[in-house]
Chain A
Amino acid sequence: MIIDLPATTTSQVNSKLVHLREQGGANTIGRVLTLVIVTDDSEKTEDTIDAANYASREHPCRVIVVARGAKKASPRLDAQIRVGGDAGASEVIVLRLYGPLSSEGASCVIPLLLPDAPVVAWWPFEAPASPAKDSIGRLATRRITDSAADRNPPKALEVRAKGYEPGDTDLAWTRLTLWRALLAAALDLPPNERVTAATVSGEADSPSAELLAAWLSSRLRLPAKRVKAKSGQGIVSVVLERKSGNIEIDRPDGAVGTLSQPNQPDRRVALGRRAVRDCIAEELRRLDPDEIYDESLKALNKVDRGGRTATPRKKTETPKKVRAGAGT
């Protein structure tokens, strides 16, 4: 059910919600958090709401979409309430803000936050330089940004690193979870040797590749190399060098990864690029600060970015060839 409330106020929205609850039964019971999505009003807004609805199946929540409309207009708040089938398993309140209101999202959001429940803020596209200092970000325990959606992703990552406050997280980091799980699982197995070098190869502007190299630098205490791949999307390969042989994950086609370890046959694993909806569902699972993300952000400047491009590697090639390009 979709209810439109044009040119309205938040107290009218609240009254409507109470009315819907009384009329329609338990629509707002059992919500575990409020998800505030801050975006510009555009055709991309619906996709974002879709992703939130999908995630809400795991975490029943109230979704408030702050959609900034035309700045040069008279101040107006249009609200739209979606419950039941049109809202997945959550309830969605879309607030379209016009004129000077468009930068006053926080004032419209505060009255609609669920009592007692934590708040999560998500900027699916452009994000403020310091999310924690943003007026909506201040209301939230967890702040989700997406540097891959920024115009200049590697620069965006640096901005994140500078403005990091506990509770910040970025979808470029979430997209790494399966890669990190595979690498950690590969290192669980004998021989338990130190990793002596690491190389991450990926698309030129992939923030996930940067973060992966940073994470490896931080955890392995060495300058991981970040090389730009000539072809392939996202992260193309990761190599961990050890005395007895390398651990490699190659994913040239953006879909299937091949894990190679010494004395083991190659193993293939589905390693597709994760959709936003799955990333959001993962982000909502824990609302405490992600210290490992923090440490990885701080390690971005430890990554060795020599500027070489990697040639697509055959299995028999050893990374020593790549390292032979001396200097940084």
Chain B
Amino acid sequence: MRIIMISEMFNIEFFHPSAYYIIGGLLIPLLKGRIKQGFMLLLTLLAFFAVVNMPLGVYGVYEFLNWELTFGHVDKLSKVFAYIFTIMGVIGIIYSIHVKNDGEHLAAFYYIGGSLGVIFAGDFLTLFLFWEIMAFSSVFLVWYRKIPSSVDSGFRYLLWHVVGGLILFSGIMIQYSVSGDLSIQYLPFHGWYPTDLQSVATFLILIGFIVNAAVPPLGAWLPDAYSAATVTGAVFMSAFTTKTAVYALIRVCSGSEILIVLGVVMAIYGVVYAVLENDVRRLLAYHIISQVGYMVTGVGLGTQMAINGVVAHAFCHILYKSLLFMGTGSVLYATGTAKLSELGGLYKTMPRTMIYTIIGGLAISAFPLFSGFVSKSMTVAALGEEHYTWAFMGLMLASAGTFLHTGLKVPYFIWFGRDRGIKAKEPPWNMELAMIIGSLFCIGLGIFYKPLYALLPYTVHFEPYTAYHTWETLQILLFTQLGFFLLLKKLWCENTISMDTDWFPRKGAKVFMWFINKPLASLEINIIGEVYEFIVQKPILRMARWFKWVDTFIVDRTFSILANLTLLWSRKLQAIQSGQIQHYAMIMVAGVLTLILIGIILP
């Protein structure tokens, strides 16, 4: 059955799905109750079907000043990302449909609209425009939590993204000055540092992208903001920002070797921090960094198989990560806390939420028959095929860590562990429905993976369920479980936070303010003030005194002399003012005669 779309009614081939989110979203505050909820769901579904019906090609090209802006660059790569973004839009809106705050809905809609705009952008200027829409709308998902710490986190989040955006923009400008072309091109970065102007441009663009991909040391904003966001906001945020960056990296920077190293470091770094985290959403946020590390590694490798793996992994990741954030968000919603040190024993009150979360945990851990298995293994196998043994082993290590935390630690300490007798109940029906849909995707994609493989940008020659590979994965995961239970005592969480690279801006800002208030202020008063008085103030006073003397004795006196002279002259002239007309006529004739005489004599 064909679904009739607005685009078909108006007889245009391409209808930008962002329009549903960005323009359609504006109507949300005008509606109320069930109608509003239905309308929001309708918009997300329309956007999804707009992607389904979208033909490949280039659409929406506009002239702007001297540039050509392309809003609809559709190929297999952008289309598969559009699929998962619009699916996530549907799931996320179902999860958050009970939220009363229209602002939060608008923020989510603009955020999703922005990410769709990025993946269909055909030139860097359009990409940058939507890139910034994402940053400035998603920050409201943090602020609407309305607690002091989320306000602070939101500002830090915004600062990171503004700086990242500016770096990206400067890269784009240099790229434009070098090539005179703004269209999005394939610009891989080779080596470790830029050597000429072109590579400076590429390098800056790469940095701009990896700030959003949360690559350390530029990724500390992610756990900071995602743990501070609203329950529903974090679900959206877990899906879009980093994956949009992965898309941009594939499009522009695939094959940049530096990304292999960064990606492996990132995968392990996220896992290490996850051990230390007490806040469960911070823990999951660090696992986003770890999982995006797999993708960044694959982008760095850049072979067809690796890129297929990255795209498939981004697709599955959005589904299982949002499921995990939905599950733990439900716990936060029901209990008011997300700290592992305060949770425990919830299986008696929230068993269904537990099952959904464990499904998400098994999917992210790449358990056979779950979605992570069919996607993660493709990237890792691509590394094996290219004989990057160290990177291969690093990612294998990280996958043990993934199961350790998300599959074991999170469920154990929330639903079992120490029973703290918390009174809680399962979340509202819409949140549960969203989790059921997410769970079905996580299992469904693990079993029926062919349709996903068909969407990938290149033809897939990879079979995940070989006996050896399945067995290899099962061994790693189940022996990780053994290690978990043997070392359980070490894993109890303490009420602490861990320093990340945001220590530098955060403590650095304190040092900066101290420097301003203490040494710099006293320097200003004691030294610069004195010097100023001696060098500037005193000479100026002296000069002013001299000017005053000049004013009174020369300027004023000149004027009074002139005035006196004028008076004297006037008195002399008074003599000829007799008041008799014949005298005036005589003077006039005399004057005319004088003029004539002058006229005759002079030439």
Are the chains A and B members of one assembly? no
What is the interface of chain A, defined by CB distance below 8 A to chain B? Answer: none
What is the interface of chain B, defined by CB distance below 8 A to chain A? Answer: none
